[in-house]
Every structure is written in C-alpha cells, then in structure tokens.
Chains A and B, each alone.
Chain A
Amino acid sequence: MFIDDKSPYERCVFIRAFEQEIAALSAAGEVPGLVHLSTGAEVADVALASVLDSGKDQVTGSHRSHGIALAMGASPVRVAQEILGRVGGLSDGLAGTQHLMAPENGFLTSNGIVGAQVPLAAGAALTAKTNKTGGVGVAVFGDGAANQGAVLETMNLAAALELPMIFALYNNGMAQSTPVGHASGETDFKTRAQAFGLLAFDADGADYSACAAQFKQGAESARGCRPTFVEVTVTRDDGHYFGDLPDAGNPAPTEAWFENLRRSLKAKGASDDQITQTFDATFERAVGVVKEAARSPKAGAAEYRQWLSLGANPDA
C-alpha cells in the first residue's frame, strides 16, 4: 500500500515518475520487451481506485495497466520487478508488463489481448454478486477495445444479468496507431453504452474531482447491480509503446492535470514551495522504487523450472 494517506496529487506524480523511470530503463535495455506506459491516464487511474475497495472489488485492465495496478495498491517494487523481468516480481517475471496480476490488491489481471479483460471483470462481478460481498468488477479498456466483440457482448451481458460492474473506458483517441474517428462508426461511446442499458457517465481525465465524482456515481449504481459505463478522456503521452512516435496534436499533455491538481492543493492552503517539495519527494520515492527493482536479479531458469517442476499436468 504505497499510497496510503497520500493525496491524489502525490499518487498521480508517483505513477508518472514510476513510468518515466521504467521508460529510462527500457531505453537502457533493461526491459525484456516493449512497455505501454500509462502516462496521461494517471488521473483516471487514481480517481477510479479512489472509489474502489481493494478488499472486495476487482479490476481488470488492458496492456496499458501499470498505473491502475499501482493505484489499486499493488506493491510498486513487485510491479516494477515484474515489468523488468526480475526475481520477486508479481509472477516472478514470467508474466511481464502486459500480464500484471495482483488480485490480493483488487487488481485481478491486465491483458495482452485487446478487450479480453472485459469479460473477466464480468466474472469478478458475478462472483461478488453470487457471494453477496457488495463488491464490483471493473473493466478498464480503451477506445480501441471499445470496438471488440468481447466488449460489446459483455456490455449486453452485464445489463442482461444485472451484474455489479463498471465499464471504465479511457478514451485516448488512438487505437494503437489508428485514430478513433477512423475506427469507429460512431464515436459517442456513451450513447453506445446507454443503448445496451448501461447507466453512462463521462469525465475529463485532466480534472481529478470530476473523474472521482463520476466514478463514485458509477460505483454506487454498480454496487446496486445496475452496471455502469464511465468514459474518461485521457491522453497518451508516450505513444502506443515507449519509443513509439508521440501522438500528434498532443504537445504538452501532462500540464493540464498537473496544473489542476496543483490549483486544488493551493486552494487548500498549500504554498508553491510545499507543492514543489511534495513533487520532488514523491518523484524521488517512485524512482527509488523502480531502481530498487532494477537491482533485483534477473528472473530466468530457476523461476521457470519452478513452474515446470509442477509436472506435465499442473492443472489436474
């Protein structure tokens, strides 16, 4: 629980710094594959997590899930170790950046298949409903996934079965390299969700208070078995994957949410110096965590053989 008692500002800055350090390590060749960074969606991640209870709710996410896993309370060191393929990672480095699993913290799984995480969240919702825990299943997905059959089917299923479920669409305007306007016959996803019978909300991903308020309403409705849809407009600050070209027309994407959160801290009486100090301390803490993970030994034969030792049929 790295973010207990921390302000939304600190949480968002932590994720930003974490991702920047992952990017630096990626550039240095310390990450086995490509990484899809959450930069630009920090506010959405932190606002969503703020309305959830990691003890009874479960979130599933896309390939771009470092931020939401951290926001739900997954151990930052273990998340970083997993991304870096290091011993001690959530799954000892055998799963990797696209398959983060921290069900202990309410982050069930991320996913390498666009949209496939959405039916899984319906399953978490079904379990919560069956066991009467009061929990919800939450699927986080992008505008690219919004056109997957898995997502459309699950919207209908959740409405038909009255599942305690939240569909959280982070609309960053790009499906890998294809703009949303090109990929969607109708880009008003809220209307689409309403047509399936979901209660729908939308929010600006640069405005923390608005996001948190919409997610709160969404969660309240979902907990009463009226599934909901919340669309948040976010940016994608490091392209599809780190090293990709930056998204066009997105020149200074982080400034808006930084400024909004700083303004709200100032309104509560914080001085510029205090805010800067908070930023610096949080940034340093996040970078330190990722550096610590990078010092862990690389996972490899021993971890893999451990799994193999379960035998040819570990599932029976």
Chain B
Amino acid sequence: MPEQMMKTSEALNAVLHQAMLDDLTVICIGEDIAENGGVFGVTEGLLSTFGPARVIDTPISETAFVGMAVGSAMTGLKPVVEIMFCDFVGVCLDQIMNQAAKARFLSGGRLDLPLVIRTTMGAGDGSGAMHSASLHGLFSSISGLTVVCPSSPADAAGLLRAALKTKGPVVFIENKNLYDLEGPVPGDCLATPIGVAKRLTEGTDVTIVALGQMVQEASHAAAMLSAAGISAEVLDPRTVKPLDVASIAASVAKTGRLLVVDEGAGFAGFADAVIARVTEEAFSALKAAPRKVCPPDTPVPYAVEAEEIWLPNAADIVAAVQTMMEE
C-alpha cells in the first residue's frame, strides 16, 4: 500500500481494521464504539466488518468493562479498550493501576497482558473541566504501564501497531484536537518504535520538548524564534514511558537549554519528570535553568478566552525561551 494522506482518526481506524483482520484474538471494547463507531469515529466500520462478538458496545461501566478487558488479556485475547475521555479513568483506576499494571509482575512473568487502553487527552475545544484533561503524567507514574501520546497521523498509526505487539499494557492517549489533523501515513506495516523520540526541527540554542498537540505549538514557536534569530530544536518523545532520555539529553548537550511544554500537570507531571531526568544526565551542559510551560494549576476552564489562557501556546513558549536566552 502506498503512502496516503490521512486524518489521525482515519489512520487509527485503518490500523484497527488491519489488526483485527490479521489476528482473530484482537477485539475492541468500549462505550459507543460499535454501532456508533466511536464518538470520534476511530472505530467506525469495525462492527460491520468483524461483528458484535469482537466489537463490543458496553454499558457505561468503565470499571467492569476495563476489568473485563484486563481479564480477557490475561486469558489469551488482545483487547483494545476505549475510555472515551481520560478524565473518566477516575471511575476505573483500580482496574488500570492495580489489575492491568501489576498482573505481569504478580504472575512472575508467566502471563502477558497484551492490552491497549485507548483514551483521549487535550484541552482547547470547549469540553470543560471533566472532558479535557491530559493525564499522561499520572499514568506514567504507575509501574507496569507503557504510555504513548502520538502527535501525527503517521505516529498514531505506527505507535498503535507497536502497542498491539507489546506484552504489557499500553495506555494509548490520543489528543482529541488532532483527530482531524491530516498527514502522510506510510502504507507499510512498520511500527513506530515505542520509546524513541522524533526530532521535528533542528536547532542549536534551545531544546523544546513537547508531545500531543503541544508539538504544533512548539513548532510554531520555533518558527517565530527563528525569525528572531534563536535556533530551537523541537523534540517529540512520542512515548511518555519509557522516555527517550538519551535523545533529549543528547540534544540538550548540544543546545545547553531545555524547555518542556505540556498540557499535563505542572507539578509532578510529565514536564517535571523530563526536567529531572535530563538534569541528571546532562547537568554539566546546561547554560540556563531548565524551564517548563504548563497550564495554571486549576481544572480546565470552559469559557473560550479562559481556556485560551489555560492552554499553553506558541507565544507562551517564545516568551519562556526568550527569558532563558537572557539568563
């Protein structure tokens, strides 16, 4: 199959179709994923192709159906379970944190847990405080989980292929504001490797780390900084855990400056983790204190202008970099 232009949602959909075709043990579970094709259309057409035994609409009972997915992964299936918004993990965290994450360890490695938990993240679309969170940092603090956050259609497809091949549970977080983003998607079946960062722009003055929809803001910022004579290197880790510390540290060794942009928690979240790990690895290369651009420590506000203040953007990034350059 040749490379095609696809939206992120279409790329994910194509991978699910192929996975279910290739492997009879792959099943999809979730709310409104079968008849409705998923609220973002990611599971569209799976029901008519693969039938209700493998594409399962559930009651609104996340604990029960995520737990069912975990149990089915423990007994030989490869479930892809959808939690519509990552805010909803509050009602089923036990099944993720204690059951999925710990099963392989507690079995002494006798059991694999080939489970993909698909969920969404991302603010900026007026969804309010309980449908907009970005909890990748929270998931990554749980031992036993792999956490990925793709930022492009190609990486969404590639990382989903990779996630479907892992032995352990993967929390696969799709930024809901990127579903309509179009981009080239390779037609081959090569998976984007988990745990490998991607460099989007090359630079020498500052390393900007961002994932999900923050990659776009970081790229815009890099262009604006370039016009101002500042050379920014943008890295998208793509995987939160395991984090590609080596690539980020190598970039910082070159630039001497690190800025992390994230719409997750500003305290004890992804940004803090990246700063801590890179500081450990590349302290002597730092010319300025590492910084982060994260939302204020409040829930996501609803009103348009309030949400705009909350969500980091390119201007915030430019301002932070300029401050660092003056240090």
Contact = CB atoms under 8 A, between A and B. Distances in A.
Contacts of B66: 119
A60 interface: yes
Nearest to A100: B106
Interface size class of B (residues with CB under 8 A): 35 or more
Closest 5 CB pairs of A and B: A123-B71, A119-B67, A315-B168, A153-B64, A120-B71
B68 A154 contact: yes
A101 interface: yes
Contacts of A124: 71-72, 74-75
Nearest to A58: B75
A38 interface: no
Interface stretch (B11-19, B54-62, B256-264): B54-62
Given A101-B106, A124-B75, A157-B58, 9 more contacts: A108-B74, A109-B103, A119-B64, A126-B71, A127-B71, A130-B25, A130-B77, A161-B56, A314-B109
17 contacts: A90-B108, A91-B110, A104-B110, A109-B107, A119-B63, A119-B95, A120-B68, A123-B69, A123-B77, A126-B71, A137-B71, A153-B61, A156-B61, A157-B59, A310-B109, A314-B168, A315-B145
- Choose among A60, A119, A125, A160 the residue with the greatest number of B CB atoms under 10 Å from its CB: A119
Contacts of B98: 112-113, 116
A281 to B, nearest CB: 33
Contacts of A178: none
Contacts of A99: 102, 106
B64 A316 contact: no
Interface of B: 25, 27, 53-54, 56, 58-59, 61, 63-77, 79, 94-95, 98-99, 102-111, 113, 144-146, 166-170, 194-195, 241-242
B75 A150 contact: no
A109 B64 CA distance: 17
A157 B242 contact: no
A122 B69 CA distance: 8
B59 A123 contact: no
Contacts of A125: 71
Given A90-B108, A101-B107, A157-B61, A312 B74 contact: no
A250 interface: no
Interface of A: 58, 60, 90-92, 94-95, 99, 101, 103-104, 108-109, 111-113, 116, 118-131, 137, 149-150, 153-154, 156-157, 160-161, 307, 310, 312-316
Nearest to B29: A126
A130 B74 contact: no
A308 to B, nearest CB: 11
A312 B244 CA distance: 12
Contacts of A316: 146, 166-168, 194-195, 242
B64 A315 contact: no
A315 B169 contact: yes
Contact of A154 (B54, B67, B79): B67
A130 B72 CA distance: 10
A123 B74 contact: yes
A257 B49 CA distance: 54
A122 B105 contact: no
A127 B72 contact: yes
Contacts of B75: 58, 103, 108, 123-124, 127-128
A154 to B, nearest CB: 4
B70 to A, nearest CB: 6
B74 A109 contact: yes
- Choose among A125, A154, A307 the residue with the greatest number of B CB atoms under 10 Å from its CB: A154
B74 A120 contact: yes
B106 A109 contact: yes
Contacts of B167: 314-316
B110 A103 contact: yes
A259 to B, nearest CB: 38
A315 B54 CA distance: 25
B273 to A, nearest CB: 13
- Choose among A90, A101, A104 the residue with the greatest number of B CB atoms under 10 Å from its CB: A101
A310 B27 CA distance: 28
Contacts of B76: 127, 131
B168 A156 contact: no
Contacts of A157: 58-59, 61, 64-65, 68
Contact of A123 (B58, B72, B109, B194): B72
Contacts of B79: 123
A150 B146 contact: no
- Choose among A120, A160, A161, A310 the residue with the greatest number of B CB atoms under 10 Å from its CB: A120
Nearest to A311: B242
Nearest to B170: A315
B108 A95 contact: yes
A148 to B, nearest CB: 9
A40 B71 CA distance: 28
A116 B71 contact: no
Nearest to B239: A316
Given A153-B64, A157-B65, A130 B27 contact: yes
Given A108-B74, A156-B61, A315 B103 contact: no
